[in-house]
Each structure stands twice: as structure tokens, then as C-alpha cells.
Amino acid sequence: MDNSDNKYLCQIQKAKRSQRRERFGSQMTKATKAKNLVMLMSLAGAIAIAPFIPIPSSSTPAKAQVTPGTQPTTSFAKPQIIYSFIEHSGTIKSLAFTPDSRTLASGGSDNEGVIRLWDTTTGKRIGIIRRAHKTAIESIVISPDGQTLASGGDDNIINLWNLNNNKFTRSFVAHTSNVLSLAVTPNGKVLVSGALDGIRMWDLLQQRPLATLTRFDNLIYTLAISPDGQTLASGDNVGVIKLWDLSTGKLIRTVPAAHSNTVTKLVFTPDGTTLVSASRDRTIKLWNVSTGQLVRTLVGHNNWVNAIAINSNGQTLASAGRDGIKLWDLTSGELLNTLYGHSDWVSAIAFSPDGTKLASGGFDTRVNVWQLQ
């Protein structure tokens, strides 16, 4: 093993120790730069290796994908908590709605490793996946057809679950460090994972490895895929945002100093023209996807911004932190409202696909479901 390998292993071990000491990650030293490497693996074992496996266009949606019809009229003036779930024993790290907005999945941390499923129309728990991971569940994502839930954890593993029966289907074990973020293409065919050791791509339908997009370039904290399924955004521990072409695996653009601290969350607007980023530097920024230029900076949180989500109307942003949940008008940058429903930091948020509900999870182990009136 050469010196560079030793540095990589030391970096990973140091990051793991640091994460255990802090409740929501830590400031970590910049990873030693190495070459970006695109490593391809055959899907069938007999296919010759090509420059990059083309990603199918997302113009063909998954068979059972739910697309809301007429967008309901929603007011963000006085959201009300309609359900509060308190079965988790640790911080809520991740939340995800099914495409029909009827089921909410929540992932716990602090060595709980449990995924719970809630009916958002009745407020009842309808499922539980025990021992989903050995330690914390950092990220969960649900496929566009609502059939598969993918979870990533501090045990370096990605697990796939069948939501028809909540049964385990398989694991991806190629990462060597904490899997902090997951994203799936709109056609449901490709899963992308971001970890402290880089970015990997997986064939979600065949449940096989596709490619390694980058290794040890930076510590990846968050990923987002554009609505057309062609562009991947990544954010790392030193405030760098990168855009990748998913059809070629090539780096499109780097924003080297997007934030002055860790990028905690990335999300594209529904029209794909704007990328929104949140950071531990207390700011939220809007970026023009075509040019990479900063459009607007939202300032209002008094500490780390842990999570953001965009309503399906494309006009309203929710952000979460120590000082509650803030609702913003993306067009004007105006702060619309601040919601207080947790007794500690808010760590995860998600809008329902139909735009009528907001889910929030916190360090207080509580999951709240808000009705947007």
C-alpha cells in the first residue's frame, strides 16, 4: 500500500470518528486531492467495457409513477401540525414520501437503524423495518414507481427494500465509508450514492453496479438529480458544488467556493433551471444551472441549515435548522413564515409530492406532519 492509499484510509477513519463525536457531522479537513476516476462495471458480466455506460433518458417514466394533476391551491400562512410521531429513539436524519403522498418513511440515527412507515391520511404507523442498518440511517429515497426504498447508512452499506411487503431485496457494499446521500433518476432506473469516499452509480432495476463517478475527490455530503435526469449535483465538506453529466460521467462545472462550510443539502427546482444549496455557513443560495452564476442568497437562520425542500409548486422553499423551519418565496427571496414544532434542532424535512403537506424531523426524535392550508 503506497502513501496516497494510507492518506485515504486515514481520512476515512478520521471522518468516522468525528461523526460519532458530533450529532450531525463535523468539520473535517479537506481530503487529499486525487485523480477523478470513472470505473465501469459490466451489467451482465459479458459486456465489453465502454467509455461510459449511457444512462437511459428519463423521458420514459417508470410504469407506476404518480404525477399530480391539478396542483391544489396551497397557503403557507398558517400551517398546522396534524400528526406527531414519537416512536424513534434518536435524531431523525431522513424523510421521504411515496409518489402518491400517502406514505411517509422516516429513518432514525444514534445506533437505532430503524425505518418507520406512516400513513399520512390516518396518522397511523403502517410498517417498520427493524435493523435496516447497523448504526445511523443517513439517507432514504423512494423510487418514482413507489415500489422500492433505498437506504444508506453509517455502516457504509446501501440497502434496497420492497415497499409492497417491507422486505429486504439486496445490498450494495462497494462504499468504504459513510453513505450520506442517495438520489434516483426520474425514470427510476439509476440510483446515485454519495459517501465520504466519493460517488457511485447503480442500476436500480437490475440491482447491479454501474460506475464510480469520483473517488476521494472530496467528502460528499449531498446529491441531487435534475428533473430531466441528465445532471447530477454534488456538495462536499469544504463548500464545493459540482455538476456532472450523467449520460457521460463527465464533470460539467465546479463552483469552488459556493459556501464557506459544508454543503448540507442540494435540490433542483421543478423546472430544472435553478439549483438551491444549503450549508453550515448559515446561508441558502440559488444558482443558475446553465451558467453556474449565483442568483440569490437567503439569510435568516442563526446556525447551520441542516435541510431544504422545495414544494411542487416550484415557488416555496422550506429550510430547517436550530431555529425551526423557515418558509421562503423562491421568486422574491422573501421569508414567508417560521414554524416552531420541535424542541430541538430540525434535522430533516420533505414536502409531499402533491404539495399539501410538509414533514419535519428533529433531534427531539419527533416526526411532525404539517398540513399546508
The predicted-structure confidence for 317-365, as pLDDT tens digits, reads as follows: 999 999 999 999 999 999 999 999 999 999 999 999 999 999 999 999 9
Strand 158-162 versus strand 167-172 pairing type? antiparallel
In degrees rounded to 5, what are phi and psi of residue 280?
Answer: -70, -5
Instruction: Let me know if residue 295 belongs to a domain.
Output: yes
What pLDDT, on a 0 to 100 scale, did the predictor assign at position 61? 38
Instruction: Let me know if residue 64 belongs to a domain.
Output: no
Contact 310, 324 (CB under 8 A): no
Instruction: Let me know if residue 99 belongs to a domain.
Output: yes
Instruction: Let me know if residue 60 belongs to a domain.
Output: no
Instruction: Let me know if residue 363 belongs to a domain.
Output: yes
What pLDDT, on a 0 to 100 scale, did the predictor assign at position 108? 84
Given the C-alpha cell 417491507, which residue does it identify? 166
Count structural domains, the chain.
Answer: 1
pLDDT of residue 2 exceeding 50, the answer is no
What pLDDT, on a 0 to 100 scale, did the predictor assign at position 26? 38
Percent of the chain with pLDDT over 90: 73
Instruction: Let me know if residue 50 belongs to a domain.
Output: no
Average pLDDT over residues 97-104: 98
What pLDDT, on a 0 to 100 scale, did the predictor assign at position 134? 85
What is the pTM assigned to this prediction?
Answer: 0.81
Least trusted range by pLDDT, from 29-38, 210-219, 278-287, 364-373: 29-38
What pLDDT, on a 0 to 100 scale, did the predictor assign at position 93? 93
What is the domain-level CATH number for residue 288?
Answer: 2.130.10.10
Instruction: Let me know if residue 244 belongs to a domain.
Output: yes
Residue 226 pLDDT grade (very low, low, confident, very high; cuts 50, 70, 90)? very high
Domain range for 173: 78-371
Instruction: Let me know if residue 307 belongs to a domain.
Output: yes
